[in-house]
Every structure is written in structure tokens, then in C-alpha cells.
């Protein structure tokens, strides 16, 4: 590939505040705006910055005007509503801080479970009439629409066929997440999961079953980012954005991707390791996105742990029988919060929250000893692949 890789923003911008709401099937009458504001308040309090210091705001579907007005941020100089996953907002915010468009930025994502999620959701007029588009669904969609959901399910089938892999490879992602979620009070699903349960779970779109798809939740997450310099004067150990990138090919549509191995994730991996001073062997904790389980397998392969098609055997080889979860080389856990499959579907915001929490050393009984470097790969392999190396400052 062509362009010279530059990374002037290396370690220049830091996460300094983290906030969230409970992850619930029904937040009981709260709007998506309310959830965003709840998360934002806790993030701002966690960061210990004054409202007047926040001069940038970046959100997903809830308009930044609403959140700024509700919180009373008196003067912002940069704002953006961006597309998902959450990582794309983080990249925008990082760039805004690095460029000087703003100095301290609030980044948030919130969503309400859509009306199609369940019978109770379908009976809630606020869900029926205010369907948030967090999962790319809309009224014009039919069974045959080549949506992202279609794409990941159909590519999962081709993956299993191409590499001669069974569904148990996907099941390891779900089981690993559930074992980790047992130690995350924030997670929606915390009961242990067996392979037998996984293989017997309700099929949604073959070969993916209900346990391969992250459960929709009513939830909000927010973060405060600022310059590394300013971060050193605040209360927490800063978590530095060491390297960040997105990646997409010119065939990004769900059914037109040239091949499983010629996708955004290969561009991300190449660019990320070119930008980073650290290598895969330096990573202490890994957060492959798992909105669909196949995405996590694809990231294990793309970042360089193994070859395409080998993620299932790789996870099995690095499985800790005692802990019923993955520990790569006996050391590196994957999705210590449970991933979005167990914690809840928040477009990768949960992966960032956990990465920051681990690198601060604040993860309690989930803490990875001495965690200094986290690899976070939100998004999938069609049109929204992204990758990050985060380091404790």
C-alpha cells in the first residue's frame, strides 16, 4: 500500500474521564438524550474538569445541541455528530483536540432498544415512534436487504464453509465474554455459558444464533478527552491515544466485499502497526469488537495473532480451562468486561470504557496485572473497521 504513514498525534491526546449509565433492557421512561446526559455528567465529574473547560462535544445520534444545552456547556468551539461505531467519534474527538479546534472534549453515545427487539418494546409508543437507528434498521428494510446484519451473518457462513470451521469457533467468543462478564457488575448477562447451551441457542440468521448477536440495551456512555499535557494535571492516570486508525476498501458494501481477507480490517491492522511504537507482543489486554461474534474472530486474525480461518483453533489453544476464558500465552485476556455480547450493545463504547479502566488500574477483580497497553479494534470488516493502541500515561 502507498501512503507514507505519519502519526504526529501519537500520545498527544488522553482519556481523562469515563461515565456510563446502567445497561438495562428498559431504562423506564428515559429518552436517549437523558441517557446521554446521565453518562456525560458522570464522565465530567470523573474527569474533574469545569464545565467552562469543555469546549468540544461529539455525539452519535442524539444531537450535540441538545446535550450541550441540557448540560449547560457555556461555550464550545467544535462539535460533531458522527456515524457509528463509537470509535469513529473517538477519532474525530482526538483529531479536534490535536488540531486545536478544541482542548477538552465530551464524547458520548446513547441508544434506546428499538421497537423490533421484543413484544414489550413493540408495545412502547416511544420506541415505536422514535426508533433510534443504532443498528442500521429502518422501515424500508426487507428480508432481502443487504444490511450490515445480513452481511455479517452471510459472511460468517462463508467463513465456516471456506475454512472448514464449526460453529463452536464462534461459541468460544460468546463463552469467553460471559466468563469475563461474571466479574463485571455492569454487564447485562453474567450467568456462565456452556458450549452445549451455545450450540442449542435459538438461531436468528444462520449460522448466527441469539448468542452471536449483542443484546440491545437502553444505555449511555461518555468520555472526556483532552491534551496529554493537561491530562497530567487532572486526577486520574491518563490513558493516551498512542495510535488510531480507520480502514475501508473501495468495495465496502455488505454483499460486494471482494473477499473476507481483502477488507477494512487488513487496512486497519497494517496502518495501526505502522503507526504504533509497540508491537502485538506488547499488548496486555485485547478488545476485539464482538457486536457479532464473527467480528471478534476476524479481528483476532487481522491484528496478527493467527492466519485467516484460524481464530477458532487459536482461541481453543489459548483457552484457560480453569478460568473458562481466553488467556493468550497464559497472559492476555480478551474483552475483560464481557464484550458487547454479554455487557450490552453500545457500539464499542463499552470496549473503550473497559480499556480505559484497565489502563488506569481501576478494574478491581477484573484488573489485568500491570496492564500498560491495550489493543482495541471496534467495528467490523465491511465499512467501519477501526483500531487503537491505548497506553497508560
Partner 1 sequence: MSALPDDAALFERFPGVGLDHDNKGLYRGFLERELRLNRCGACGHWQHPSLPMCPRCWSTDVVATPVSGRGEIYLLTVMHQGPPTPGVDYHSGYAVGSVELVEQRGLRYTSAIRSDGIRPAIGMPVELEWIERSGAPFPVFAARP
Can you give the binding site for partner 1, defined by CB under 8 A? 116, 137, 139-146, 150-151, 153-158, 161, 202-208, 250-251, 253-256, 258
Cβ proximity to partner 1: between 229 and 255 the closer is 255
- DSSP secondary structure letter of residue 280: G
Cβ proximity to partner 1: between 66 and 145 the closer is 145
Cβ–Cβ < 8 Å for 239, 390: yes
Q: How far apart are CA 180 and CA 187, in angstroms?
A: 10
Cell triple for residue 99? 488540531
Residues making up the chain, counted from first to last: 393
Give me the least distance between CB of 156 and partner 1, in Å please: 8
Give me the least distance between CB of 264 and partner 1, in Å please: 17
Give the angle 350-373-109 at the CA atoms, nearest 5°. Answer: 20
Q: How far apart are CA 72 and CA 79, in angstroms?
A: 15
Cβ proximity to partner 1: between 9 and 121 the closer is 121
Cβ proximity to partner 1: between 13 and 341 the closer is 341
Cβ proximity to partner 1: between 100 and 116 the closer is 116
Give me the least distance between CB of 261 and partner 1, in Å please: 14
Q: How far apart are CA 347 and CA 96, in angstroms?
A: 21
Give me the least distance between CB of 75 and partner 1, in Å please: 39
Give me the least distance between CB of 250 and partner 1, in Å please: 7
CB atoms within 10 A of CB 244: 25
Give me the least distance between CB of 88 and partner 1, in Å please: 22
CB atoms within 10 A of CB 86: 25
What does the CA dihedral 316, 322, 324, 330 come to, rounded to 10 degrees? -50
Cβ proximity to partner 1: between 81 and 145 the closer is 145
Cβ proximity to partner 1: between 49 and 209 the closer is 209
Cβ proximity to partner 1: between 69 and 203 the closer is 203
Give me the least distance between CB of 137 and partner 1, in Å please: 7
Q: DSSP strand E in the chain: where?
A: 13-20, 56-59, 78-81, 104-111, 203-205, 208-209, 219-227, 239-247, 285-288, 319-320, 325-328, 332-333, 373-377, 385-392
Q: How far apart are CA 73 and CA 66, in angstroms?
A: 11
Please give the backbone phi and psi of residue 225, each rounded to the nearest 5 degrees, phi first: -120, 145
**Pairing, β 239-247 against β 385-392:** antiparallel
Cell triple for residue 252? 465496502
Cβ proximity to partner 1: between 207 and 348 the closer is 207
Give me the least distance between CB of 143 and partner 1, in Å please: 4
Q: How far apart are CA 71 and CA 68, in angstroms?
A: 5
Give me the least distance between CB of 57 and partner 1, in Å please: 30
Amino acid at each position: 500500500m502507498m501512503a507514507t504513514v505519519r502519526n504526529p498525534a501519537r500520545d498527544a491526546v488522553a482519556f481523562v474521564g469515563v461515565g456510563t449509565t446502567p445497561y438495562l433492557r428498559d431504562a423506564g421512561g428515559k429518552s436517549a438524550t437523558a441517557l446521554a446526559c446521565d453518562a456525560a455528567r458522570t464522565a465530567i465529574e470523573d474527569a474533574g474538569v469545569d464545565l467552562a473547560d469543555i469546549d468540544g462535544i461529539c455525539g452519535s445520534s442524539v444531537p450535540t445541541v441538545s446535550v450541550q444545552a441540557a448540560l449547560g456547556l457555556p461555550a464550545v468551539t467544535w462539535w460533531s455528530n458522527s456515524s457509528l461505531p463509537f470509535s469513529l467519534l473517538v477519532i474525530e474527538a482526538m483529531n479536534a483536540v490535536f488540531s486545536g479546534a478544541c482542548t477538552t472534549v465530551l464524547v458520548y453515545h446513547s441508544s434506546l432498544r428499538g421497537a423490533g427487539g421484543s413484544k414489550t418494546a413493540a408495545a412502547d409508543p416511544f420506541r415505536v415512534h422514535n426508533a433510534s437507528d443504532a443498528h442500521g434498521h429502518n422501515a424500508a428494510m426487507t428480508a432481502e436487504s443487504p444490511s450490515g446484519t445480513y452481511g455479517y451473518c452471510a459472511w460468517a457462513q462463508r467463513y465456516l464453509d471456506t475454512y472448514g470451521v464449526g460453529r463452536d469457533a464462534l461459541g468460544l467468543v460468546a463463552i469467553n465474554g460471559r466468563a469475563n462478564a461474571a466479574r463485571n457488575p455492569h454487564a447485562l448477562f453474567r450467568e456462565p455459558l456452556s458450549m452445549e447451551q451455545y450450540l442449542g441457542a435459538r438461531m436468528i440468521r444462520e449460522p448466527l444464533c441469539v448468542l452471536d448477536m449483542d443484546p440491545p440495551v437502553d444505555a449511555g456512555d461518555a468520555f472526556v478527552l483532552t491534551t496529554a499535557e493537561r491530562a497530567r494535571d487532572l486526577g486520574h492516570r491518563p490513558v493516551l491515544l498512542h495510535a488510531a486508525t480507520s480502514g475501508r476498501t473501495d468495495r465496502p458494501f455488505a454483499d460486494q466485499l471482494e473477499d473476507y481477507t481483502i477488507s477494512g480490517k487488513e487496512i486497519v491492522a497494517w496502518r495501526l502497526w505502522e503507526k504504533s511504537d509497540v508491537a502485538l507482543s506488547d499488548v496486555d489486554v485485547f478488545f476485539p469488537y464482538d457486536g457479532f461474534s464473527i467480528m471478534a474472530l476476524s479481528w483476532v486474525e487481522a491484528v496478527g495473532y493467527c492466519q485467516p480461518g484460524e481464530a477458532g483453533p487459536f482461541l481453543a489453544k489459548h483457552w484457560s480451562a480453569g478460568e473458562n476464558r481466553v488467556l493468550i500465552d497464559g497472559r492476555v485476556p480478551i474483552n475483560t468486561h464481557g464484550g458487547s455480547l454479554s455487557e450490552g450493545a453500545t457500539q464499542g463504547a463499552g470496549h473503550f470504557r473497559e480499556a480505559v479502566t484497565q489502563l488506569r488500574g481501576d478494574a478491581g477483580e477484573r484488573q489485568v496485572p500491570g496492564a500498560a497497553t491495550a489493543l482495541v479494534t471496534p467495528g467490523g470488516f465491511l465499512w467501519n473497521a477501526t483500531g487503537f493502541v491505548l497506553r497508560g500515561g
